[in-house]
Chains A and B, each alone.
Chain A
Amino acid sequence: MRKLLIISIVLSTFLYGEKMTGKRLLDKAIDVMNPEDSKATLIQTIQTTTGETRTLKYESYSAEEGKYTLMRYQEPARVRGNALMMKNYANDIWMYNRRTRRVRKLASHAKRQNFEGSDFTYEDMGTGDSWKEDYDPENQGKETIDNTECYHLSCTPKENADVAYSKMVVWLRTSDYYPVLIDYYKDGKLFKKLLIKNIENIEGHPTARKMVMKNVQENSQTIMEYEDITYNVDLDKSYFTERRLRR
């Protein structure tokens, strides 16, 4: 009987010793979400204040796992060439206007603000691995979301962390740690929901073709879709210059 008990303890240690901690899960998620570099074309659909639907198309370049990002508008033609550059995980943001040919640096607090009037903030767009520094993740176990087995990860801000949300709940696919749903909370209330859809494996990287950010408090939503995306494009931080922004 005693032997049996010892065997079962050894077995359970062997089987469950690998239980993922929240921190490990978050590390893995950040790795999978932020490939080294990429080049993509995105379509963003927003609702204007007069209720019209507006579609914007832009090309996006990213390097050093999302630390550097450059986005340049292609459509509609009236804003073609206007561009935006984020460095240091959106802590530094520059904007270029093709009509005035001026480059302006946005105020430091801008990263918390909505990216070009959408429901995404600059922070949502260029988070990179800043989550690791700012949040304490906790693995809440497994749950099924849309028939997919997921890890339920609850992230609370670290003390004195300068973050926009009071809590984030992330559901990661158990198969590859890629997120399928993120709930953002502000002041304890559910604020936004990011629905991550049409996940495909592109060049060995799981990639969400479509992302829908729903602001549940304001009942608005922004849809972002990848028209195309390529990884491993040999981009480094030297690409992200003012000259490139103006091009």
Chain B
Amino acid sequence: MREKFLDLLGKWAGERTYWMLGIIIVITIVTGSLASQLKINMDMSMLLPKDSPMTKEIDRIFEEFNGANSVFIVVQGEQEKMIEYAQEIAPKIPHLESWIKNYASEKIKSQHKALLKKHRAGETKYAGQYYDLVDYKMPVDFLKNHALMLQKVSDLKNFEGIYKDPNFIELIRNINNSMEKEYIQSEEKISTTERERSAVQYLDGIETWVDNVNQGLTGKQYNAEQAYNAADAIAIGNPYLTSPDRAMLLITVEPTFSMMNMNCVMPGVNALEELVKTEAKSYDIKAGLAGAPVLSRDEMVAATEDSFALTMLALVAVFILFIITFRMFSSPFLAIINLMIGIVWSLGISYLLVHVLNMLTAMCSVILVGLGIDFSIHIISLFSEKINLGVKPEKAIRETMQKAGTGIITGGITTAAAFLTLSIGRSAGMREFGLISGSGLLIILISTLITLPTLLILKERIFKKFKKKSTKPYDVTYNSIGTLAQFSFDKWKFSLIAMIIVTIGMGFMITKVQFDYNYLNMEPKGLESIELNNKIIDKFNMSSDATKMTASSLEECYQYTEEARDKSSISYIESISDYLPPREKQKRRQAKINEIHQTMQNSKIRIDYGKNDYNEMINQLYRLEANIIEMQDMAFIGGQDMVDEKATRLVGDPNIARSRISLEDLIYAPEAENANARLRETIKMLKKANQDIQEDTLSSSLHTLQDSIALLSQNYNRFATDLKKQKLNKFYQSLLEIVDNKMLKGRLSAFIDKINNNPVDLARLENFSNDFSTKYKGLVLNLADTSKIQLSMLPEKITSKYVSNDGSLYLLTLYPKGNIWDLRNLETFYQQTNEISHRMAGTPPMFYYLIDIIGKDGRRAAILTVILVFIFLLIDFKSPLKSLIAMIPLVTGFLWMLGLMALFGVKLTLVNIMGLPLILGIGIDDGVHILHRYQIEGKTALHKVYSSTGKAVIITSFTTMISFGSLVFATYRGYGSLGIALFIGVGACLLTTILILPSILGLKNRNLNEKN
């Protein structure tokens, strides 16, 4: 049946060549037009099972909250400029369309027009605007009236001192009392991320307060605004989402489009990026985008470029290898044309099967190049041989089809079947990958059987017409391979032992294979969105990739929020409960707030300040400095880096301060036992402090001092005590000069020094204090509003962010702590969020879920592939022993592949883990071809088998390896990891076929060997 069909195809190619050509052209045009409609979507959710609860939750959150994934505008520069920029840009974002119309580049305009056109044609959804909510500031007006109702009773008790007395000096004293109560005596207050963040916010308020007090008391001209701002800073704090070092501001933007709607993602993200960058120029700051939709855009651009460029690269590489090996041009050219036609057909069919390619299927065409070319190699090889023997083309093609066709069909079906086993996977990614690559390979097999014979006949006719002789095929028989195989066969004991030792070694190496759980390592290098995401992690200790969760009632929302606050892996929680505390809690707070209100109401504002008051102010400022220093050291010992960093802005670099103490101690005890070690420590601390200094002169002064101390340390024991003292004193003085630099000093310490050196005029202090106290009193009276907050009182900006359109659901956004793409963080975050509720969505849980199901899919597919391959071999060889022998190179090749990966430091990744079952399908071919030929040629012809068929096996393996290897050049590094794994896998199976199979055959035929 198979032979008859193949003969018929050969006959038609020879006799009805032009009809066949016509049919091929028509099919190519039809499938080409289908293929052109294929889309690529790199969103991770495309890989999830369609019925997964997470997929449903993503859809629900998108429907109910108008978007589920935020875009972050990351602004870097001076604080004032960043705030001005945010104020300018924020109102423009919801009206991005009009900005596009008037100011955007032509590229953006045309992308937007294309979207509108598709939308009008009903091809895509578009809400009429790309973004709706923009957030960069706390709702200050709301907070000014309700802030105290949002604080816990315990916090109200600890901080009540701050709200007791509006007078300036008394307030500093009360701040100190509260600080000592809240933070210094109870360090656990800063020991969780949530508490650490609130401590940072508190210090941030003090920083703004210090800046305004400094301006108000020591600035050139007094302006009441400075006193008012100082009052705002203590009452409300810094309302902007700035980093502790105030070098970064975040603006969150909520898209109205789903991340899966690539028609909107591309123009929406591109337009916002252009707006953000254009406006940034006029403010002399840097701005860029981060967040899942931006990454999705970047991935799509990379994948689209990669998909075409790498397919072309693979084709060219295979073509060159073909020419080098066969020393022919026309036939390889036809093979490449045939392959391109096959890929067009398979992409057309792919469109019918899936419509959209995901991050795994986008690279199928490269894989198909590597595998599909093998069919052509076998046909061309045999056809050229026949032509060379003088057989007429029409007869030659029929004979070729009959002889080579059956092997091709068996090999093709086995590999395709192995791919198709992936279709049993639960994850859509794995399933579609199996479907597209398996069906694609079958389509290329069919297209090769139809197209290549026709093209070869056409070539012969054209050559005949122009009286050109077909190139004689270059004899590429690999004698050395034959000799090597014969040696292994004859000395089977020796080679078998050697190979067992190598395999055991490889097996040992497998234990060292690492899994790269950092998903960002799959992404293209140098992406701004990833770089900014890393900066957000650095500055805010949170990842921009959040998890969203829905609660069905306010009570549930409160419960989830409380539970989330206790989870160590969660850095930051956003929910309605930030603005609408539970009723009973509000009730409990009312009494305390009422008390605060009464006390403040009865307080009197002082008008006169005397010398003693001034001294008391200085004392309290020193006390404040000491409190912050202690908080800073406690944070350092406890590992709360953000508090340490924030405190440094107020009280200076601790390494410099501690170096000063070290030198001071040594001056008093220059002969101390550990003096030299202390000097070396001092150098270390100075170096550490110098790392963060941007100013060149200051940095070079510190360098000089470090070098001088290093020199002293080297010769320390040689000096007399007096000389030691003298030198230490000199360095101490130099350090004091350096420390005096305002860049090294904290803002609070610098302010204290300033008013110590130039005392403030008492009249000015009175003016400032008066304005401050009046404003502060009014603010606190407002803050201490005892009326209960109700949902209807919340600003629309808050309700639309946290409450669903129909009011039935409440949204929580949980930002993970640190780098979520580190498995330890991801695993803990997933488990802890899962403990709160299963109703969650977002990139981190999705990724974790994917790792889990893809791992299971991979294992299942691998087992099924092995079974299937064995069944095919059993049908083919009709002998279980022969089938097992054919599988030995595959199994050992698989082990070698993993061992070699460990040896070369290639890690397993989420993408290349799929290469493992693929190798089982691809790697089997080598052994099958050799055994087939061995069966035909007989037991004594192993040299011939390996010299001839071994050649084909090597060439087909090389073309496959080259094609897979071209993935290394992919911008999307996930493909690179897949390419390397497959390259090593195919290479390993080739090696085991050449090195192990002959010795196994030698073992099987040991009687023959013994006779010889």
Contacts and interface: CB of A to CB of B under 8 A. Distances in A.
B684 interface: yes
A97 B630 contact: yes
Contacts of B619: none
A98 B630 CA distance: 9
Interface string B624-643: 00100110011111111110
Given A77-B685, A99-B658, A49 B196 contact: yes
A78 B655 contact: yes
Contact of B637 (A50, A56, A220): A56
Contacts of A95: 630
A220 to B, nearest CB: 6
B636 A78 contact: yes
A234 interface: no
B682 interface: yes
B639 A117 contact: yes
Interface extent on A, as a size class?
Answer: 35 or more
Given A48-B640, A50-B641, A113 B657 contact: no
B653 to A, nearest CB: 9
Nearest to B628: A100
Contacts of A104: 180, 184-185, 630
A107 interface: yes
A48 to B, nearest CB: 3
A238 interface: no
**Among the interface residues B188, B641, B642, B828, which one has the most CB atoms of the partner chain A within 10 A?**
B188
B398 interface: no
B657 A77 contact: no
A77 B567 CA distance: 32
Contacts of A102: 626, 630
A173 to B, nearest CB: 32
Interface string A103-133: 0111101100110111000000000000000
B662 A77 contact: yes
Contacts of B541: 49-50
B929 interface: no
Nearest to A118: B638
A48 B819 CA distance: 13
B193 interface: yes
Interface in A150-166: none
A79 interface: yes
Contacts of A113: 186-188, 191
Nearest to B184: A104
Contacts of B817: 49
**Among the interface residues B185, B567, B640, B819, which one has the most CB atoms of the partner chain A within 10 A?**
B185
Contacts of A109: 186
A51 interface: yes
A110 B186 contact: yes
Nearest to A106: B185
B191 A48 contact: no
A80 interface: yes
A79 B635 CA distance: 11
Nearest to B640: A49
B639 A49 contact: yes
B681 A77 contact: yes
A46 B637 CA distance: 9
Contacts of B985: none
A114 B630 contact: no
Interface in A37-80: 46-52, 54, 56, 73, 77-80
Contacts of B681: 77, 80
A102 B678 CA distance: 23
A82 B181 CA distance: 20
Contact of A79 (B191, B567, B633, B828): B633
A173 B454 CA distance: 84
Given A51-B818, A99-B629, A116 B637 contact: yes
A218 B570 CA distance: 10
Contacts of A54: 639
A117 B638 contact: yes
A12 interface: no
A219 interface: yes
A204 B477 CA distance: 79
B538 A219 contact: no
A229 to B, nearest CB: 20
A94 B925 CA distance: 75
**Among the interface residues A50, A81, A105, A107, which one has the most CB atoms of the partner chain B within 10 A?**
A50
B661 interface: yes
A47 B446 CA distance: 59
A99 B187 contact: no
A50 B684 CA distance: 22
Contact of A48 (B185, B641, B678, B682): B641
B568 interface: yes
Nearest to B567: A218
Contacts of A99: 629-630, 633, 654, 657-658, 661
A37 B991 CA distance: 67
Contacts of A98: 658, 661
B470 to A, nearest CB: 66
A189 to B, nearest CB: 11
Interface in B175-199: 180-181, 184-188, 191, 193, 196
Contact of A78 (B626, B630, B641, B658): B658
Interface in A197-236: 215, 217-220
**Among the interface residues B187, B569, B637, B638, which one has the most CB atoms of the partner chain A within 10 A?**
B637
A82 B187 contact: no
A100 B186 contact: no
B824 interface: yes
A5 to B, nearest CB: 57
Contacts of B180: 104
Contact of A77 (B633, B658, B819): B658
A97 to B, nearest CB: 5
Nearest to A99: B629
Contacts of A106: 185-187
A56 to B, nearest CB: 6
A116 B634 CA distance: 7
A77 B641 CA distance: 17
B187 A116 contact: yes
Nearest to A51: B818
B771 to A, nearest CB: 32
A47 B818 CA distance: 12
Contacts of B662: 77, 80
Interface in B635-687: 635-642, 654-655, 657-658, 661-662, 678, 681-682, 684-685
Contacts of A220: 568
Contacts of B637: 56, 73, 79, 82, 116-117
Contacts of A48: 639-641
Given A49-B818, A50-B818, 6 more contacts: A48-B640, A49-B640, A77-B682, A77-B684, A99-B630, A215-B568
CB-CB nearest 6 A-B residue pairs: A117-B638, A218-B568, A48-B639, A113-B188, A77-B681, A100-B626
15 contacts: A49-B641, A49-B642, A50-B818, A51-B819, A77-B681, A78-B658, A80-B662, A82-B637, A99-B629, A102-B626, A105-B185, A113-B187, A116-B187, A117-B637, A219-B824
Interface of A: 46-52, 54, 56, 73, 77-82, 95, 97-100, 102, 104-107, 109-110, 113-114, 116-118, 215, 217-220
